[in-house]
Structure 1
Amino acid sequence: MSDPTTIEATLKSQLGATHVEILDQSGGCGQIFEAVIVSPEFAGKTTLMRHRLVNTKLKEEINKLHAWTQKCYTPEEWSKQSSK
């Protein structure tokens, strides 16, 4: 079972994430997570590059999961997204 708190702390410390939302979609078993990640590190990167960056930082945690879905935004993109 993976811990969303550990995942969030890793993203904040290693990616400088300014906003992280992690939802456990597994019904409590801790094997399926969906995440929204906002970081200035994503600026100028394609979606694939952003996902690879996150996956590299969370390699050990992701290996313990059944499914991992992520949506990655820069702070500017998140501001536009959340104001809709």
Structure 2
Amino acid sequence: MNRQQTIEHTLRQTLSPIHLQVVDETHKHSVPANTESHYQVIAVSAQFSGKTLLQRHRLINAALAEELAGGIHALALHTMTPEEWLEKNSQIPNSPPCLGGGVK
């Protein structure tokens, strides 16, 4: 199982999401081939109800602690309740562009 599949599997078990999308965005960054280090996660789960954005992110970070310790450099999180997902018409923002590993 590659890292993207591991993230998906872990979050499906942890969140029971109604929608989950894990996008490997590593190719958009200045890293060696096969690095598997930059991801975007769109997670829609009733488990986020009543939780702040920080609490939602901590829930995901705790679930992915092993992966985060093993080489993930960037994790863009979009966490919504089913109601929020409907309000946004299933739209999520794009991840920011790569700055080449340095501050510009």
Q: So what's the TM-score if we normalise by structure 1?
A: 0.88
Residue 61 of structure 1, CA deviation:
1.1
Q: Which digits, 9 at most, give the CA deviation of each residue in 1:9-55, with x for residues without a partner?
A: 11111111121111111115310011111111000000001000110
Whole-Å separation in 2 of the counterparts to 1:42 and 1:25: 24
Q: What do you get for the CA RMSD once the two structures are aligned?
A: 1.6
Indicate the percent of aligned positions where both proteins have the same amino acid.
Answer: 37
What are structure 1's unaligned runs of at least 5 residues?
none
Task: Tell me whether 1:59 sits opposite 2:65 in the alignment.
Answer: yes
More strand by share: 1
Rg: which structure is higher? Answer: 2
Residue 83 of structure 1, CA deviation:
5.4
Q: How does 1:1-84 map to 2 (within 5 A)?
A: 3-27=3-27, 29-64=35-70, 65-82=72-89
Number of equivalenced pairs: 83
More helix by share: 1
Q: So what's the TM-score if we normalise by structure 2?
A: 0.72
Q: Contact conserved, 1:12 with 1:18, CA < 8 A, in 2?
A: no
What are structure 2's unaligned runs of at least 5 residues?
28-33, 92-104
* Amino acid paired to 1:23: V
Q: Contact conserved, 1:35 with 1:71, CA < 8 A, in 2?
A: yes
Whole-Å separation in 2 of the counterparts to 1:3 and 1:47: 24
